[in-house]
Amino acid sequence: MLRRQTLAIAGTAIVYALIGMATARPQEYARTAATEPWEPCGECHNLDGISANGHFPHLAGQRAAYIEKELIDFQSGARANDHGQMGVASRTLGPKERAVVARHFAGLPDPMPQLLDLNPTDGKRAATLVAMGDRAAKIPACNSCHGVRGKRNFTGPRLEAQQAAYLAKELADFRAGRRTNDRNRVMQLVAKRLSEAEITAVAAYLATRPRDTPAKLAGRR
């Protein structure tokens, strides 16, 4: 009888252990030498670089130089995220691994645009700010730095087809001074000149836009 009870308890323990393994938080898995350096990123950003929700940005198709720059900023403390995961994760990567991670996600297919309802008035205002800016309000066009051509020697991210909630949060953080790792404080100054409604509209508009590539643009000429 005692033997049966012991076996039953042991069997129950194994079942719970297996359940625990299956439901454990992703960050609890053991990293080994065989683990590719980008695999831990998949816990939040997914291995295809397409995040499941607006808490985390899409990394797929992003500029490699930008991904690498942000990893360096997270590592140094120049940038922080809400719960500190990126600071911890970035400090596990050396220079070579950072470059591998950046190239991996940059080489993945671009995310698809989000399907969002944007009223015509907000959409028109957002489109103007993205393409032309607002000279009177001293707001430069988003595309002047983030467009497909962008600026030389600039590591700004592509914004089209990004998570709208993520874009809105980052703009709000720049505006409030919670994020300060922008070059020459450009984004902090721009964000402060945007209203909350404009931030929401620009984020939604960009999220619904497909990413152009130089090849696509050349074909339109």
Domain layout of the chain by residue ranges:
29-106, 120-219
| pLDDT over 80 (residue 19) | no
Q: Cite the DSSP H helix spans in the chain.
A: 2-23, 42-45, 64-76, 85-90, 95-106, 120-131, 143-146, 164-176, 186-192, 196-207, 214-219
Quick one: average pLDDT of 206-221?
69
Q: Residues of the chain with pLDDT > 70: what percent?
A: 79
Quick one: average pLDDT of 189-213?
96
Q: Structure tokens of 61?
A: 């198709």
Give the pLDDT of residue 66. Answer: 96
Give the pLDDT of residue 212. Answer: 81
Is 29-106's fold the same as 120-219's? yes
Give the pLDDT of residue 25. Answer: 37
CATH number of 29-106: 1.10.760.10
| pLDDT over 80 (residue 32) | no
Whether the CB-CB separation of 202 and 126 falls below 8 Å is answered with: yes
Give the pLDDT of residue 13. Answer: 41
84: left (phi over 0), alpha (psi -120 to 50) or beta: left
Whether the CB-CB separation of 174 and 182 falls below 8 Å is answered with: yes
The CA distance from 133 to 141, in Å, is 4
Supply the mean pLDDT for the chain.
85
| Structure confidence by residue, pLDDT tens digits, 49-90 | 999 999 999 999 999 999 999 999 999 999 999 889 999 999
The CA distance from 191 to 97, in Å, is 33
- Amino acid in position 207: A
Give the pLDDT of residue 3. Answer: 41
Q: Which CATH class is domain 120-219?
A: mainly alpha
Q: Structure tokens of 148?
A: 């497909």
- Amino acid in position 19: I
Give the pLDDT of residue 149. Answer: 75
Nearest to 72 by CA among 52, 91, 57: 91
Quick one: average pLDDT of 85-99?
96
Give the pLDDT of residue 213. Answer: 67
Between 184 and 24, name the one with better pLDDT: 184
| pLDDT over 50 (residue 121) | yes
| pLDDT over 80 (residue 45) | yes
Nearest to 87 by CA among 77, 95, 98: 77
Whether the CB-CB separation of 102 and 49 falls below 8 Å is answered with: no
